[in-house]
Chain A
Amino acid sequence: MGLKPDPIIILTLIEENAADSVPQLTKPERETREQTQGKKREREMRRWGLLAKEALTQTLTFARFFCLFHVTNHYLWSPTLVFGPSMLPTLNLTGDVILAEYVSHRVGRLGPGDIVFVRSPVDPNKIVTKRIVGVEGDRVTYFKPRNGDSCHTVVVPKGHVWIQGDNLYASRDSRQFGPVPYGLIEGKAFFRFFNGIQRRSFMLVKEVQHGLHDRPVVCGHLIALDHWDNERCNSY
């Protein structure tokens, strides 16, 4: 980064100062003056060259930083802003900053209960945040709130997952566009940054992920996976 002072520049400066202080010019002095002017042009060219080199170094430093930043954001973790009504009450309507990690889906360690970021199958420019309800081979029972009370059951095909928003009444998810190929999963949400309004918000994500069994199972309000206790569903 630091430029070493060029000895040739210093000598040229001294020579120029010496030449400027002479009032009248004889022939040999005129020749010296021309030489000095030539050296002045050379000095300017070299200055431009150094400037270009400096600009290139700065650009390279910026490019390297950008690359490291990008690789981290793409393969390790990154903060993401999520908003919308489809994951209430887990995620806020007006926006949450969540840490997404990009390791789990590449090593195949995603399962039911994980909140994931998925590239929407109907709009490839949009990324939606939903919860995985079933993986390949699972039997998933669901209902569409505005389509009456009928429950439907599907088996999730190989290589796909079934995603749903926590807020069933305001969520476009696999109930509308079907099971989603696993390759569309972009990352997994695992941490929420402290939210001043809800003091317990950073615990809420973990609670809902692992505490589904503690909630009362109301058929027609929550999803039932095949291995759940069907008797509890029938008694409501």
Chain B
Amino acid sequence: MRRWGLLAKEALTQTLTFARFFCLFHVTNHYLWSPTLVFGPSMLPTLNLTGDVILAEYVSHRVGRLGPGDIVFVRSPVDPNKIVTKRIVGVEGDRVTYFKPRNGDSCHTVVVPKGHVWIQGDNLYASRDSRQFGPVPYGLIEGKAFFRVWPPNSFGSLG
């Protein structure tokens, strides 16, 4: 019986160590920075089609230091299980002019409402962004991309 007790105690200690490590790892990945894999055509030529490993940081959007030109990770307003990578074009109060490539040559202008941002992919011809689903509430922003780690020939900071 004592052997089982010791075994249980050992298992509990190992589990606790694992849980503690997991917690530290998780808090870092959620509140500081983490590597992320991004892929898709909507941010060409900035990000590759077949995939980049990018360092995302999770501090800027909490202290409100995001502005036009930042590449951000946003939870999609049309599919809450998906996170998309786009660039902020306008913040609240900005007047944004855009066009939809397949809808003729007409330009539209909107004023970004309070508490929202206007995001667009760098590749306007193959990107579903605010031109389709409108300005996105600021609360949906998950993080900001600031450094690219892979592929090694484009290692370096992202604008």
Contact = CB atoms under 8 A, between A and B. Distances in A.
A71 B23 contact: yes
Q: B-side binding surface: helix, strand, loop or mixed?
A: mixed
Q: A-side binding surface: helix, strand, loop or mixed?
A: mixed
Given A119-B139, A184-B137, 16 more contacts: A64-B24, A67-B27, A70-B27, A71-B23, A119-B137, A120-B115, A122-B115, A123-B114, A123-B115, A124-B138, A159-B76, A160-B77, A181-B75, A183-B75, A183-B77, A183-B139
Contacts of A157: 78
B115 A159 contact: no
A3 to B, nearest CB: 21
Contacts of A182: 80
Contacts, number: 60
Q: How large is the interface on A (under 10, 10 to 19, 20 to 34, 35 or more residues)?
A: 20 to 34
B33 to A, nearest CB: 16
A71 B21 CA distance: 12
B69 to A, nearest CB: 19
23 contacts: A63-B24, A64-B20, A64-B23, A67-B20, A67-B23, A119-B139, A120-B115, A121-B137, A123-B114, A123-B115, A124-B115, A157-B78, A159-B76, A159-B80, A160-B77, A181-B75, A181-B80, A181-B136, A181-B137, A182-B80, A183-B75, A183-B77, A184-B140
Central interface residue in A122, A124, A157, A184, by most chain B CB within 10 Å = A124
Interface residues of B, number: 21
